[in-house]
Amino acid sequence: MARILIVDDASLVRLYYRQTLEAAGFEVREAFNGLEALEKLLVEPVDMLIVDVNMPQMDGMTFLKALRGQALPIASIPALVVSTEAGVQDMAAAQAAGANFYQVKPLSRDALLQYARMFCGVPA
């Protein structure tokens, strides 16, 4: 089953994502900021990243820039950025930083699962 790394500093958000995704059979890993995420990826690759923008120490955008500059295959992990910022410039900034797609919060349970299935190639 596909493995997903949640990068978010809010533990309840991580819990919410984890429970939703695990109930659907996904394997879930957690990191509370970009630095921890990079460290975890070097140890164990994943199939998808769900990344928050505002995080302490290393925010989502800085993390994605660093990620895309890594060696393959780590650099090639598809990333979904989930953030409260909804402006067009935020979407463009996220894509420029290295996000494959950008979803404005709030993210419902259905939408979260739908994204996980699409990003991990689970047939509809």
Partner 1 sequence: MNEFLEQFLVEARELVEQATNDLLALEAAPSDRESLDGAFRVFHTLKGGAGIVDFAAMSRAMHAAEDVLATVRAGGRPVDAALIGDCLTAIDNVVQWLDTIQDTGALPQNADAAADRLVARLVAGETAARDAKPEVAETSTPPAASPLAILEAQIGFLGAGGDGRIGAAGRLAANLLRHLNRTDDADEIARVTGESLKSGRAATLIDAITQVLQASTEAAPLRSEPLSRTLRVDAERVNALVNLTGELTVAKNAIGHIARLARESDSSLAAAIQDEHARLERLIATLQRAVLGLRVLPLRTVFQRFSRPVREMSESLAKPVRLETEGEDTEADKAIVDILFEPLLHVVRNAMDHGIEPAAEREAAGKSLIAAIHLRACREGEHVVIEVEDDGRGIDADRVRAAAAERRLVAPDALAAMSDAEAVELIFAPGFSTARAVTGLSGRGVGMDAVRTAVERVGGGVQLRTDPGSGSIVRFVLPFSVMMTRVMTVQAGGQMFGIPLDAVVETVRIPRGQVHPVGGAHAFVLRDRTVPLVDLGRTLGRGGGGAPAAEATVVVTLSGGQLGGLEVDRLGERMDVMLKAPDGLLAGLPGIAGTTMLGDGSVLLILDLSGVLQ
Q: Which residues bind partner 1 (CB under 8 A)?
A: 10-13, 15-16, 19, 67-70, 72-73, 75-79, 82, 84, 95-96, 98-101, 103-112, 114-115, 117-124
Residue 80 DSSP SS3:
strand
Alpha-carbon gap, residue 111 to 63, rounded angstroms: 24
Closer residue to partner 1, CB minimum distance, 42 or 75: 75
Report in angstroms how near the CB of residue 117 gets to partner 1 at its nearest: 6
Q: Which is nearer to partner 1, 24 or 104 (CB)?
A: 104
Only one residue has tokens 């533990």, namely 11
The token pair at 71 is 């060696």
CB of residue 43 vs partner 1: minimum separation in angstroms? 19
Question: Considering only CA atoms, which of 44, 34, 26 is closest in space to residue 68?
Answer: 34
